[in-house]
């Protein structure tokens, strides 16, 4: 490793720590990833650069980003001071993106995977970041035609932010079960509720549920190790499902499938945000929090991938399985005092069926994959409009 690269990550770590020392508690940002589609066939189309060009000099431009493949677009709320502001901006960004893509004769979808478009036909966008990841990961990155929802939460204090991220790992299976939206991929009904997680989390290095870190020094030591050994060349190559973000002073929760419907996207983000804040409050007040080993959390993660909200999750304290819906209700009850304080309570809800369950039910009713996907596309159009 050259001196220039070492100076680069030393500066990054110092700036990141300083950012966490200064950031206000519970600011947030939400990112959503969308598939770009041909409206007549609903196939993926490699048109991100056209979307980017069409967005120039519009309100969308600073909030639009490429995300690996040219058949995908990401929109970001930007930093928000309250959840009400973030919820409004999620709707605005969806509408802005839809306006741009429709001007190009395209449409959008927001499920964790595309049901049938081959990964072999998706072109990786030509940026230095994605060229490096292409060279590094090859087949692993080629297969990652997936779409998610990410929530960034500002947490004041470097040690506190790391501890919040470490505690959040215990609840990742619950968030995944609620968000699952991807039972179809590569023309196959997988019988999974989140094929996206199986593709992304099980294939990428440094992905899925991380270890728990005691504080900033331990986290920083690990990042230094990765750079010093040449394991990473940039900090975003730590792809964990929850991580302290090194470029922004936020804890980023990355476990969730993308959501077809705007209302469910807002509700999922509200729970994710409230959970991070509830954990921070617990740490401040000395309330005991679980720290389960990965070998146990992986059992629940698999259950969330396979059965989503229709299955059971393990209550580790009682060493028994309970319905996933019951577990989510417990989580809602636990976060509610902070949700009331932050104003997220109106958005908190568990749907009768989430996106994966609705799609699977239609499959067993005899609907074709094309019909089912068209319904998801239409749901996004209806609610965003």
Radius of gyration of the chain (CA): 20
**pLDDT tens digits, one per residue of 251-286:** 999 999 999 999 999 999 999 999 999 999 999 999
Distance CA 79, CA 130 (A): 24
Q: What are the chain's domains?
A: 3-384 (3.30.590.20)
CA separation for the pair 79, 63 (Å, rounded): 11
What the block records as the tokens of 91 is: 């709707």
DSSP string computed for 134-164: HHHHTHHHHT--B-EEEEEEE-SSHHHHHHH
Q: pLDDT digit string (tens) for 66-119? A: 999 999 999 999 999 999 999 999 999 999 999 999 999 999 999 999 999 999
CB atoms within 10 A of CB 61: 13
pLDDT at 2 over 60: no
Within 13 Å, how many C-alpha atoms sit on residue 56's CB side? 6
Which uninterrupted H or E stretch holds 60? Answer: none
pLDDT at 384: 45
Residue-wise pLDDT for 283-303, tens only, equals: 999 999 999 999 999 999 999
208 sits in the region (left: phi over 0; alpha: psi -120 to 50; else beta) called left
258-289 in b/e burial notation, b at 16+ Cβ within 10 A? bbbbbebbbbbbbbbbbbbbbbbbbbeeeeee
For position 385, what pLDDT does the model report?
Answer: 41
Across residues 131-137, what is the average pLDDT?
91
3-class SS at 338? helix
Closest CA to 305 of 227, 212, 209: 209
Phi/psi at 35 (nearest 5 deg)?
A: -85, 135
Q: Convert the pLDDT of each residue in 156-208 to its tens digit.
A: 999 999 999 999 999 999 999 999 999 999 999 999 999 999 999 989 999 99
Quote the CA–CA distance of 238 and 207 in Å, as a whole number. Answer: 7
């Amino acid at each position: 490793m050259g001196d220039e690269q070492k100076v680069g990550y030393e500066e990054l770590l110092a700036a990141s720590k300083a950012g966490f020392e200064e950031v206000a508690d519970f600011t947030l940002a939400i990112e959503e990833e969308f598939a770009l589609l041909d409206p007549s066939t609903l196939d993926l189309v490699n048109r991100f650069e056209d979307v980017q060009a069409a967005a120039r000099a519009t309100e969308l431009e600073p909030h639009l980003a490429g995300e690996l493949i040219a058949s995908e677009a990401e929109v970001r709320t930007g930093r928000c001071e309250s959840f009400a502001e973030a919820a409004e901006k999620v709707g605005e960004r969806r509408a802005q993106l839809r306006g741009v893509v429709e001007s190009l004769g395209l449409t959008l979808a927001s499920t964790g995977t595309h049901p049938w478009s081959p990964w072999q036909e998706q072109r990786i966008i030509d940026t230095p970041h994605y060229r490096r990841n292409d060279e590094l990961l090859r087949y692993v990155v080629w297969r990652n035609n997936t779409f998610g929802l990410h929530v960034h939460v500002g947490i004041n204090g470097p040690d506190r932010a790391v501890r919040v991220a470490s505690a959040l790992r215990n609840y990742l299976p619950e968030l995944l079960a609620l968000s699952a939206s991807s039972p179809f991929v590569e023309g196959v009904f997988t019988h999974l509720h989140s094929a996206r997680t199986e593709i992304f989390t099980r294939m990428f290095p440094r992905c899925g549920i991380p270890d728990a870190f005691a504080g900033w020094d331990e986290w920083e030591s690990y990042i230094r190790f990765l750079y010093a050994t040449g394991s990473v060349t940039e900090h975003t190559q730590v792809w964990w499902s929850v991580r302290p973000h090194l470029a922004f002073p936020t804890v980023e929760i990355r476990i969730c499938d993308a959501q077809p419907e705007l209302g469910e996207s807002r509700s999922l983000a509200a729970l994710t945000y409230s959970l991070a804040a509830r954990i921070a409050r617990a740490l401040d007040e000395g309330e005991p929090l679980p720290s389960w080993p990965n070998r146990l959390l992986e059992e629940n993660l698999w259950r969330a991938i396979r059965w989503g909200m229709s299955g059971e999750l393990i209550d580790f304290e009682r060493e028994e399985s309970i319905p996933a819906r019951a577990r989510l209700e417990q989580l809602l009850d636990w976060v509610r005092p902070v949700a009331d304080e932050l104003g997220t309570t109106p958005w908190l809800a568990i749907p009768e069926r989430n996106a994966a369950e609705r799609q699977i039910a239609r499959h067993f009713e005899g609907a074709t994959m094309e019909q089912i996907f068209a319904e998801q596309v239409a749901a996004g159009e209806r609610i965003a409009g």
